[in-house]
Structure 1
Amino acid sequence: MTETASAPERAVRADASGVVHTPAGAAARIVSLVPSITELLFDLGLGDQIVGRTAFCVHPVPQVKAVRSVGGTKALNWDKLNAARATHVIVNIDETPKELADALSAAGYTVVVTHPVEVTDNIALFRLMGALFGRAAEAEALVDAFNRALAALSDAAHAWHSRSVLYLIWREPWMTISRDTYIARMLALVNWLSVPATTGVRYPVIDLDEALLAAADLVLFSSEPFPFGDRHVAAFGEAFPRHAAKARLIDAEMVSWYGSRVLKGLPYLAAFATPTALAAGTDR
């Protein structure tokens, strides 16, 4: 559900699953199973209340290293989780298996479900976390910064050439994104549309073949969840020489991490998408 910046502040808010949560404020002990949300919590000034994270929560450095890891995004060490004495566990529909979220709820944790799809859903996300954990003013500061960053990107709309892009997130098997994802909506801000145009699932397995590559103006190798690097781009060029010039590495954190990372992601994408940067083949 998309929320605009003019929406009134509310004392109680519903999460992405529709569950209405009562503000917990300073009494909350928070475990985040979503790397981008962990970063957001720190940026809201909640570092002292974060009592658990995943091994994939790597920002901000070095503060995040002081928080215990309770496992991965899809599998938990329940002993470590219980030892953290958490009150709230933050999950994400794409990253957290429903069975795990249900088990957390059954165990007595307050489970907060997130699911940004539109880029502007960051506004509701900021306000949800701010309202839940007593950081409403800090959340509004992020909303203001987000609106400025989005406006700056929109002001440069004339610079974005329409392109079809194949955004790769995995190999063996090859996987990409559907247009109904946060990543695709980020790319659409610079007039880039992901291919294939229609898919039955949000993160489909694909055949990296001539037909698909012919439909793409760019082939973007993301830095996560699979850590694509220069050698993968080189191997692609050898396997598909006709399309070698389309390949680029892209910093996935900048286009797939919602939350406060979007404040860096929007200008990153603006710079990445300029004709000069594309011609240079840079991912920075």
Structure 2
Amino acid sequence: MDPANILVDAAGTLHSPARGEVRIVSLVPSLTELLCDLGLAGQLVGRTGFCIHPRATVRRIAKVGGTKDVRLDALRALAPTHLVVNVDENRRETVEAAAAFVPNVIVTHPCVPEDNFALYRLCGAVFACEGAAARLCAALQGALDEAAAVRAELPAEEVLYLIWRQPWMTVGRDTYISAALAAVGWQTLPAQGAARYPEVEWGSAALAGAARVFLSTEPFRFGARHVDEVAALSGRPAALIDGEMCSWYGSRAPAGLRYLAALRRTLGAREVPR
């Protein structure tokens, strides 16, 4: 890989390695966790209220609002040298306004688990933590290999992945969640459609092939009380699934893929005819 390309972010901006005092604000939960796992917690001066991992570490870091409702005055007061954002999770107008007073805005947009390689290397090169980034790359490759092994062992299966109730909502195939599930052989439904987070119409032909339904623990807090309700509505086996493991990229990606691989094997083993 061309060393210069490592420093290019998702917006096509070429960054330079950080020099002098580094003050980072992260507006994305996954990225806050990643920066801490890269050893940069001491340089992280701001976060959103949704940035909750690692819990013991982030408690001391100032909040600047939410991912969609950033308080620009609070952000400015922290005098960050770097702002880390995401295309899907932050509002463009907020990022553009912040760029007027933050010298370096790093834009991210992981769409599939493999995109985390570039994310690790970018952060490693900008913030001089290449060793930690390389270790994450190795962990991700191992998890992708495990996911591929499960995908080869078990037949592909179509699933419905619920993220919201009233209205019932799922994920489109162009989302990170869908790509993470596909890594272990679970194809999300509906298979087509322009909406990234479409509403669910129970009984729709688009969902007819679903072998099972997953109820994510985030953003809606599905719990055990919802499982029977969804099983009755869908006529399919239903189960809770850890939303953080499916949707958080960054340093959570290797653990997330291993979680999905283990879950796929467990459910597959339960359904083997005896």
TM over 0.5: yes
Equivalents in 2 of 1:131, 1:104: separation in Å? 23
C-alpha contact (below 8 Å) 1:272/1:278 kept by paired residues: no
Q: CA deviation at 1:209?
A: 3.3
Equivalents in 2 of 1:71, 1:278: separation in Å? 44
Equivalence for 1:182: 176
Equivalents in 2 of 1:183, 1:23: separation in Å? 31
Task: Read off the aligned partner of 2:141 and give its amino acid letter.
Answer: N
Q: 1:132 aligns with which of 122, 126, 129?
A: 126
Equivalents in 1 of 2:231, 2:151: separation in Å? 31
**Within-5 A mapping of 1:41-56:** 41-56=35-50
- TM-score relative to the length of structure 1: 0.88
| Identity, % of aligned positions | 46
Equivalence for 1:40: 34
Equivalence for 2:222: 228
Structure 2 residue runs of 5 or longer lacking an equivalent are: none
Task: Read off the aligned partner of 2:91 and give its amino acid letter.
Answer: P
| 1:268 matched to 2:259 | yes
Equivalence for 1:123: 117
Equivalence for 1:4: none
**Does the C-alpha gap of structure 1 residues 196 and 276 become closer, same or farther in structure 2, counting only changes over 3 Å?**
closer
| 1:248 matched to 2:239 | yes
**Within-5 A mapping of 1:1-284:** 7-10=1-4, 13-25=7-19, 27-240=21-234, 242-243=235-236, 246-276=237-267, 279=270
Deviations 1:62-90 (A, max 9, x none): 11111111110000122321221111111
Task: Read off the aligned partner of 2:82 and give its amino acid letter.
Answer: H
Equivalents in 2 of 1:20, 1:166: separation in Å? 39
Q: CA deviation at 1:128?
A: 0.7
Q: CA deviation at 1:132?
A: 1.1
C-alpha contact (below 8 Å) 1:92/1:114 kept by paired residues: yes
**Quick check: 109-118 or 41-50, which moved more?**
109-118
Task: Read off the aligned partner of 1:266 and give its amino acid letter.
Answer: L
**Secondary structure of the structure 1 residue equivalent to 2:49:** coil
Equivalents in 2 of 1:275, 1:59: separation in Å? 27
Equivalents in 2 of 1:11, 1:162: separation in Å? 35
C-alpha contact (below 8 Å) 1:70/1:80 kept by paired residues: yes
Structure 1 residue runs of 5 or longer lacking an equivalent are: 1-6
Residue correspondences, number: 271
C-alpha contact (below 8 Å) 1:26/1:133 kept by paired residues: no
